[in-house]
Every structure is written in structure tokens, then in C-alpha cells.
């Protein structure tokens, strides 16, 4: 699989949405769209698999919950039982606030780190920026140039017709 | 179809339900009279709260200029329109005040040092005055809001200015509402146990108001769309309401637990009696089912994205939540009143079912009457277009 992409750069958000709609209609698969800010309603034109991030959050949160409950049980029942106002050592109600906090802490942190890892956003990764304009004020539609059967010339023309101010090819490592 | 026409067949069913309610009341008077007042208080408070939810939602969306409710704003208006009627029927509990409220018995109060000190606040004349003031203020707001919206529909040239003027009224109402709703729940429900107190009680009943109101709203929207109305609503609107429902059921659980944990931890007899009575003496099964229905089930069901975008799932979960919210109020009200009367009957029987169905009938009858009085589209609202184009 090659890493060549055909980029269509748009000045205007609405032109870009219109172009994405038209591309979808003519059965051209869009690799991804890069925008400087979140644009609503783009998902339907991109055939991207749904994110698995919620699963990470669920697993992380559950881990936090179980660990917090086990730790509190170990502390207050096994290792150092203290009689507080005659309440049982294993007082589930008293464990809930801490368990809740640890659940949120695990869930939030691990989700953020998993997101940074997967989208290669940490300083240790070198992420190929498709088009520097997409980090400022341009909207970039990227189409994967898979093989020789991809009609680069015609597709470039289509993009330009749809309002792309610049059409270029970019290779990413 | 932009106008909801009163449906004769539905009205017949609703009137039949009200009839069942009367049968339930009569049956309860014959079998166990105290159940009449317990059930009237529970059901009336619940449906009054659902009506107030309409008012609350309109007020808060007016202030923040939210457009996501505008496509079904008329439904919220009709909900708010039920407030004066259900408020009026709430006054019925004044007739049963001697059965419900221990502090209305002078001989009991005279023997009780705590009740003697609270007598300046907890006495029947002042109680009635507060009740009338609360209901009066809510009804007034309901009239004012609905009138302003009607004006907006009639005069397109003044629409923007009316929308702006609504902000101030709504903000004032929210302040009044916070105080009066808190006071009402203190008076009507917390004073059933005059020794007991919980400062978070008003927040707790408020969380119930939002949860039951959202559930009722979603059910009504699905029903109306099934009849072919509200064509502009799409799954994104349901998704938003589902997200709010998920959030507020969790908020409800959070407040429930906040009240429980502090009382359990402090372990003061005066406060603890509330939970001792409910966790033992046969009430425990209802007490725990309450949490399962109101939080455990809705939380796990509403967590994934697709369930919030599926009307069938939403419909079922809303029914479960409404059932749970009724049970929540029942567990708040019934145990202590029964204890005062030397009865311990922690069961749900046909009496509860019939009286509550009667109130469902009454509520929906008024609601659909109000809904049929004007168009279903919030014409001239500056937010309508934006609200209809809602995207995720």
C-alpha cells in the first residue's frame, strides 16, 4: 500500500462540506478530512470506523473501581482495622466516594493517554502533517492514491471543480 | 400536521383511567383509608413536578438562548400549562392533612418538645398560606410564559423583542422556583417526619423533577411523532434528550447518595431514623429496587450511543424511570405515615395502581387539552430554524 495522498485544500468550511458530499455521491472514498476546528456533520461522508476509545475508558474505569475497593478493603479490614463509631470494618458506603474518584481518575487519564498515543500527538512521535494550512485556516480533504487504477488527473479536476483552491499530491512516510 | 386535534378515543381512555382512580380512592377508603392520602400526595406531587419541569426547562432555555428545545417548545408549554390545574388538585391534601401530618395534632405537639419549637413554622394556617403562595407563583409564571409565547406567534415583527424580554422574566422565575420548590418539598414531604431533617432534600426532589420530566417529555414526543406530528424532530433531538436523561439519572443517584452517606456516617438518631425505618421493617426491598430502577438500569442502558438514538429503547427506559420515580416518592412518603397509623404495609397493590392511573389520566387529559389549543410549531421563534437543523 502506498502512502500517496491527493489533497484538496478549501478556504471555506461550507465548500468543503459540499465537496465531501459530492465525493461521497460519486463513490470516491475519502481517506480523511483535516480541519482547524471540529466541523459538525462530517462523519456521514467519511467511512471511518467508529472509535474504540469508549472501550478503553470503560476498562480503565472498571480497573480503577475494582482497585480502589480492594485497596480500601485491605486497609480497613485486613491491615489496620479501626473502629469508627461502632460501624463495621467493611463499610461499603464509606468506600464509595474514594472508589468513585479513583474510577474517574483512571478513566480520564488513561483515556487521554490512549488518545494521544493512538493519534500520535505526543512529542516522541513524528506525525506527518498533511498540509500545514489545516492547522490554521484551511480545510483539507485527503484521498488515498492506492494504485495505478486511481485516476489522479480526473479526480484532481473534480476537486478543483468543487472549489478546491489548491490540489496537490503528498507522500507520507 | 401542525395542529394536534383532540383525539376522542384517547380522551375516552383517559376518562376511563380517571374513573379507575376514583374506584381506587373508594376502595382504599374502604380497605385502608390512609392509603388514599399517601397515594394522592405521591401521584399529585409527581405529576405537578412533571408540569413544573416544562416551566423550568422553558425558563432555563430562555435564559441561555438554547435552540435544541424550540422544535418541541409547544410540548413544554403544554406541560407548563398543566401546572395551575395540578396545583389546584394538590390543595386536596389539605383535607387529609390530619391523616398525613403528625404536627397538625395539637395534643401530639404539646407533648413533644421538638415539635413545640417548630410550631411557629409547622402549623396548619401558615402551611396552607405557603402552599397557596407556591402554587400561585408557579401558576402565574405558567400564564405569563404561555401568553408571551402566544404573542410571539401572533406578531412576527415583535418576535425578537419578546424573546429578549423573556430572559429577565425567566431568570426571576428560576430564583423564585428554587426557593418555592425547595419549600414545597420541605412542607409537603419532609414534614411528614417532623423530627427528621435533611438540608439537601430540596435538591433531591428537584433531581427527581428533572428526571421524571425528561422521561415524560421523551415519551410524549415519541407518541406525538407516531401520530405523524412534529415532523421536524430527528434522532439528534432524541439523542440530546437521552444524554440529558443519562446525566440527570446519575445526578439523582449522586444526590441520593450524598444524603444517605452523610446521615449514615454522622449516625445521629434523629437523622438516622429515616433510613432505619426504610432499610428494615419490610420496606428494604422497595428501598433498594428504587436505586436499581432509577440509576443502575438507566445508567447501563443509556451509556452506549446507539441506545439514545433508538426510540424503542428510549421508550422502554423512560417507562422504567417513571415507575422508579413514582417508587422513589412512595418510599419517601409512605413508610412514616403508615407508622404513625400503626400500619406496616410495604406492598404495592391495585390501590396504588388505580389511584396513580387516575392521575396519569388527569394529567394527560389536561396536557392534551392544552396542546390542542394552538399550533404545534413554535412559529416566529428566532431559534426555530437553528433548532430544526440540530446536528451531532
For B306, the closest chain A residue by CA position comes to A50
- Average pLDDT along chain A: 85
Residues B291, B286: Cα–Cα separation, whole Å: 9
Three cell numbers, residue B216: 415524560
Alpha-carbon torsion angle B35, B130, B326, B317, nearest 10: 170
| C-beta atoms surrounding B280 within 10 Å | 10
Query: Which of the two residues, A129 and B187, has the higher pLDDT score?
Result: B187
What's the gap in Å between the CA of A116 and the closest CA on chain B?
23
Task: Count the alpha carbons within 13 Å of A38 in the hemisphere toward its beta carbon.
Answer: 5
Pick the closest to residue B350 from B31, B53, B135 (CA basis).
Answer: B31
Q: Which residues of A touch B304 (CB under 8 A)?
A: 54
Q: Where are the domains of chain A?
A: 4-49+128-171, 53-118
Q: What is the pLDDT of residue B270?
A: 86
Question: Measured between alpha carbons, how far is A111 from A61 in angstroms, rounded to an integer?
Answer: 9
Tell me the chain A residues in contact with residue B391 when contact means C-beta distances shorter than 8 Å.
40-41
- How many CB atoms within 10 Å of residue B300? 10
Alpha-carbon span A10 to B180, nearest angstrom:
55
A93 and B264: CB-CB below 8 Å? Answer: yes
CA dist A108 and A114 (Å) reads 10
Q: What is the pLDDT of residue B61?
A: 93
Q: A10 by DSSP, 3-state: which?
A: strand
Ordered strands of the A4-10 beta sheet: A32-34, A139-145, A4-10, A166-171
Q: In terms of Cα–Cα distance, which of B56, B11, B74, B2 is closest to B366? A: B11
User: Cβ separation of B261 and A40 shorter than 8 Å?
Assistant: no
Give the one of A41, A93, A96 whose C-beta lies nearest to B391's C-beta.
A41
Q: Give the residue extent of every domain in chain B.
A: 8-374
pLDDT of residue A150: 75
How far apart are alpha carbons A71 and A66 in whole angstroms?
Answer: 8
Question: B257 — contact with chain A (CB < 8 Å)?
Answer: yes
Nearest to B283 by CA among B322, B321, B337: B337
Q: Which of A54, A86, A96 sits opposite B257 (nearest CB)?
A: A96
CA distance A42 to chain B (A): 10
Bridge partners of A9?
A140, A166
Residues of A with CB under 8 A from a CB of B: 40-41, 43, 54, 85-87, 93-94, 96-97
Q: Grid coordinates in use for B365?
A: 387529559
Residue range B314-372, pLDDT digits in tens: 999 999 999 999 999 999 999 999 888 888 888 888 989 999 999 999 999 999 999 98
A47 contacts A57 by C-beta, under 8 angstroms: no
Supply the Cα-derived Rg of chain B in whole angstroms: 21
Name B37's Cβ contacts closer than 8 Å, sequence gap at least 6.
Answer: B93, B96, B99, B100, B337
Cα-flanking dihedrals φ and ψ of residue A27, to 5°? 60, 30
What nine digits make up the cell of A160?
478543483
What interface predicted TM-score (ipTM) does this complex get? 0.72
Inspect the interface and report whether the beta carbons of B257 and A85 lie closer than 8 Å: no
Sort out which chain A residues have CB atoms less than 8 A from B267's CB and list them. Answer: 85-87
Q: What 3-state class would DSSP assign to A42? A: coil
- Write down the residue that cell numbers 401546572 correspond to: B83
B267 to A85: CB separation less than 8 angstroms, yes or no: yes
Beta carbons within 10 angstroms of residue B307's beta carbon: 18
A34's grid cell = 483535516
List chain B residues with CB under 8 Å of A54: 304
User: Could you give the CA distance from residue B91 to residue B135 in angstroms, rounded to a whole number?
Assistant: 9
Residue entry with cell 465531501: A20
Å between B390 CA and nearest CA of chain A: 10
Predicted pLDDT of residue A1:
46
Query: Any idea how long chain A is?
Result: 173
Q: What CATH number is given for A4-49+128-171 in this structure?
A: 3.30.70
Per the listing, cell 503528498 goes with A170
pLDDT in tens, chain B (392 residues): 678 887 788 889 999 999 999 999 998 888 888 889 999 999 999 999 999 999 999 999 999 988 899 899 999 999 999 999 999 999 999 998 888 998 998 888 889 888 888 988 998 999 999 999 999 999 999 999 999 998 888 888 888 888 888 989 999 999 999 999 999 999 999 999 999 999 999 999 999 999 999 999 999 999 999 888 888 888 999 999 999 999 999 999 999 999 999 999 888 888 888 998 898 888 889 999 999 999 999 999 999 889 999 999 999 999 999 999 999 999 999 999 988 888 888 888 898 999 999 999 999 999 999 998 888 888 888 888 888 888 76
C-alpha dihedral sign at B145, B148, B154, B158: negative
For residues A152 and A169, is the Cβ–Cβ distance under 8 A? yes
Contact B73, B379 (CB under 8 A): no
B267 touches chain A (CB under 8 A): yes
Residue B113 CA from chain centroid, whole number: 34
Residue B195 cell numbers, joined? 423530627
Q: Which three cell numbers stand for residue A62?
A: 472498571
Amino acid at each position: 500500500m502506498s502512502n500517496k495522498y491527493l489533497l484538496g485544500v478549501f478556504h471555506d468550511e461550507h465548500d468543503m462540506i459540499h465537496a465531501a458530499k459530492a465525493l461521497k455521491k460519486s463513490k470516491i472514498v475519502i481517506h480523511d478530512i483535516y480541519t482547524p476546528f471540529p466541523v459538525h456533520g462530517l462523519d456521514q461522508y467519511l467511512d471511518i470506523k467508529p472509535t474504540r476509545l469508549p472501550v478503553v475508558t470503560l476498562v480503565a474505569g472498571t480497573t480503577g473501581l475494582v482497585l480502589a475497593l480492594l485497596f480500601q478493603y485491605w486497609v480497613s479490614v485486613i491491615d489496620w482495622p479501626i473502629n469508627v463509631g461502632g460501624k463495621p470494618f467493611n463499610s461499603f458506603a464509606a468506600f464509595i466516594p474514594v472508589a468513585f474518584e479513583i474510577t474517574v481518575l483512571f478513566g480520564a487519564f488513561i483515556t487521554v493517554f490512549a488518545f494521544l498515543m493512538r493519534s500520535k500527538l505526543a512529542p516522541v512521535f513524528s506525525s506527518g502533517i498533511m498540509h500545514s494550512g489545516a492547522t490554521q485556516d484551511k480545510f483539507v480533504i485527503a484521498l488515498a492514491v492506492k494504485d495505478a487504477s486511481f485516476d489522479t488527473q480526473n479526480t484532481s479536476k473534480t476537486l478543483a471543480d468543487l472549489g478546491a483552491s489548491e490540489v496537490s499530491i503528498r507522500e507520507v512516510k | 400536521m401542525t395542529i394536534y386535534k383532540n383525539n376522542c378515543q384517547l380522551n375516552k381512555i383517559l376518562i376511563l383511567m380517571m374513573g379507575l382512580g376514583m374506584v381506587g380512592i373508594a376502595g382504599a377508603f374502604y380497605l385502608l383509608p390512609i392509603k388514599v392520602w399517601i397515594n394522592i400526595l405521591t401521584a399529585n406531587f409527581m405529576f405537578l413536578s412533571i408540569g413544573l419541569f416544562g416551566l423550568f426547562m422553558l425558563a432555563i432555555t430562555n435564559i441561555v438562548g438554547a435552540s435544541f428545545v424550540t422544535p418541541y417548545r409547544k410540548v413544554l408549554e403544554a406541560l407548563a400549562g398543566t401546572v395551575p390545574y395540578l396545583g389546584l388538585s394538590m390543595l386536596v391534601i389539605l383535607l387529609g392533612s390530619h391523616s398525613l401530618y403528625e404536627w397538625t395534632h395539637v395534643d401530639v405537639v404539646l407533648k413533644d418538645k421538638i415539635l413545640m419549637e417548630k410550631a411557629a413554622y409547622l402549623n396548619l394556617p401558615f402551611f396552607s398560606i405557603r402552599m397557596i403562595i407556591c402554587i400561585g407563583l408557579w401558576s402565574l409564571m405558567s400564564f405569563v410564559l404561555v401568553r408571551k409565547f402566544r404573542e410571539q406567534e401572533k406578531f412576527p415583527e415583535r418576535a425578537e423583542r419578546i424573546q429578549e424580554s423573556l430572559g429577565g422574566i425567566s431568570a426571576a422565575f428560576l430564583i423564585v422556583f428554587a426557593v418555592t420548590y425547595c419549600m414545597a418539598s420541605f412542607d409537603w414531604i419532609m414534614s411528614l417526619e417532623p423530627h427528621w431533617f435533611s438540608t439537601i432534600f430540596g435538591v433531591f426532589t428537584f433531581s427527581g423533577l428533572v428526571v421524571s420530566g425528561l422521561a415524560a417529555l421523551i415519551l410524549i414526543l415519541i407518541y406525538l411523532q407516531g401520530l405523524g406530528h412534529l415532523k421536524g424532530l430527528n434522532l439528534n433531538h432524541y439523542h440530546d434528550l437521552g444524554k440529558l436523561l443519562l446525566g440527570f439519572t446519575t445526578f439523582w443517584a449522586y444526590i441520593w447518595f450524598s444524603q444517605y452517606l452523610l446521615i449514615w456516617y454522622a449516625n445521629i438518631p434523629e437523622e438516622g431514623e429515616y433510613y432505619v425505618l426504610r432499610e428494615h421493617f419490610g420496606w428494604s426491598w422497595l428501598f433498594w429496587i428504587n436505586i436499581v430502577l432509577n440509576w443502575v438500569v438507566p445508567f447501563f442502558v443509556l451509556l452506549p450511543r446507539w441506545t439514545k438514538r433508538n426510540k424503542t429503547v428510549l421508550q422502554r427506559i423512560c417507562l422504567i424511570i417513571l415507575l422508579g420515580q413514582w417508587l422513589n416518592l412512595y418510599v419517601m412518603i409512605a413508610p412514616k405515615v403508615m407508622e404513625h397509623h400503626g400500619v406496616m404495609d410495604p406492598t404495592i397493590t391495585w390501590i396504588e395502581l388505580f389511584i396513580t392511573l387516575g392521575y396519569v389520566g388527569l394529567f394527560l387529559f389536561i396536557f392534551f387539552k392544552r396542546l390542542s389549543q394552538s399550533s404545534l410549531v413554535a412559529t416566529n421563534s428566532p431559534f426555530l430554524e437553528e433548532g430544526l437543523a440540530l446536528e451531532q
